[in-house]
């Protein structure tokens, strides 16, 4: 404002000053924009590869007596553990435990994003929103002595997030951290080689979660920037259930019905499954591109 006042005074003394005022104002505007390269609204995209943590020790838990507590074994008529072959992280290859499981599927991810940053000196703060999809699949399998396999899987149909962002800019390079809330549609799936019983599984559900990470962003031009970013995602997903009942295959055979491990007294109506790992977690490494207005 002081520069503008002085120039206005000079303009009253000389005609040349009349032309100096708008020229100086334009120069100040250009300098301000250059000093705050990360201020303003932007839109962009992020894409990369997602990797899951290794869920070693994951299993399937059972509620045999219908009390809502998943702390019982499924036993045969002789009292032996019907799931003594064990469990594995991933999807079962066949009905026999000897063939093991396929590893969980990592996969590509792609997101659209929009945000706003405000820069003061070297400090940049802002907010960013994203919407997109990841192709990961997280599974756990159990094997019974029948033999048969039982696989519970989950996939992310879509994910949205709103996060805060704060960083430190050195000229046209920004180093930042980000943290916020996520909301995702998680599809729960169930597969089995058991063709005798009937199975009813819960389906998709929207879940709240958290995301956090950081990255680096580099301005290429006044409007275009690119970057690299790491993100961690976590969602509580402990509502998926599989209900096992007799079905039509066993209902007509009292002998098979009485010897079916899922239907042995005290609860002859069936057994309920759930996963032991209650959280869906994964890591993302991705590139970003943004257009700043």
What digits encode the pLDDT tens for the residues 38-49?
A: 999 999 999 999
pLDDT exceeds cutoff 50 at 1: no
Length of the chain: 293
Position 96 confidence tier, pLDDT thresholds 50, 70, 90: very high
pLDDT of residue 33: 56
Q: What percent of the chain has pLDDT over 70?
A: 86
290 by DSSP, 3-state: which? strand
Tell me how far CA of residue 75 lies from CA of 78, 148, 149, 195, in angstroms: 8, 15, 16, 19
pTM of the model: 0.83
**Is 293's pLDDT higher than 90?**
yes
Could you tell me how far CA 151 lies from the centroid of its own chain?
Answer: 21
Best CA proximity match to 130, nearest among 39, 229, 53, 203: 229
- Say how far apart CA 30 and CA 22 lie, in whole Å: 12
Q: Does position 64 have pLDDT exceeding 50, yes or no?
A: yes
- Distance between CA 271 and CA 264 in Å, rounded? 9
Considering 121-130, 193-202, 238-247, 254-263, the range whose residues carry the highest mean pLDDT is 121-130
């Amino acid at each position: 404002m002081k520069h503008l006042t002085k120039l206005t005074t000079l303009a009253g003394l000389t005609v040349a000053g009349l032309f100096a005022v708008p020229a100086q104002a334009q120069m100040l505007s250009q300098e301000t924009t250059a000093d705050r390269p990360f201020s303003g609204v932007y839109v962009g995209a992020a894409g990369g590869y997602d990797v899951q943590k290794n869920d070693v020790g994951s299993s399937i838990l059972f509620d045999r007596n219908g009390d809502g507590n998943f702390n019982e074994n499924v036993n045969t008529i002789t009292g032996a553990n019907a799931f003594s072959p064990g469990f594995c992280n991933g999807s079962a290859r066949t009905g026999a435990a000897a063939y093991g499981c396929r590893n969980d599927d990592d996969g590509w991810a792609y997101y659209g994003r929009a945000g706003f940053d405000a820069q003061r000196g070297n400090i940049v703060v802002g907010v960013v929103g994203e919407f997109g999809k990841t192709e990961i699949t997280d599974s756990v399998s159990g094997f019974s002595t029948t033999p048969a396999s039982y696989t519970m899987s989950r996939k992310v149909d879509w994910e949205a997030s709103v996060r805060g962002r704060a960083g430190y800019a050195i000229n046209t390079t920004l180093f930042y951290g980000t943290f916020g809330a996520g909301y995702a549609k998680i599809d729960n799936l169930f597969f089995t080689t058991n063709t005798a019983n009937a199975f009813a599984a819960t389906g998709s559900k929207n879940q709240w979660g958290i995301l956090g990470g950081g990255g680096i962003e580099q301005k290429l031009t006044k409007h275009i920037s690119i970057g690299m970013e790491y993100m961690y995602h976590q969602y509580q997903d402990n509502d998926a259930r599989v209900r096992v009942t007799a079905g039509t295959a066993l209902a007509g055979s009292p002998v098979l019905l009485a010897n079916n491990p899922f239907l042995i007294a005290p609860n002859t109506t069936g057994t309920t499954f759930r996963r032991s790992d209650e959280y869906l977690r994964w890591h993302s490494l991705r590139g970003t591109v943004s257009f700043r207005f």
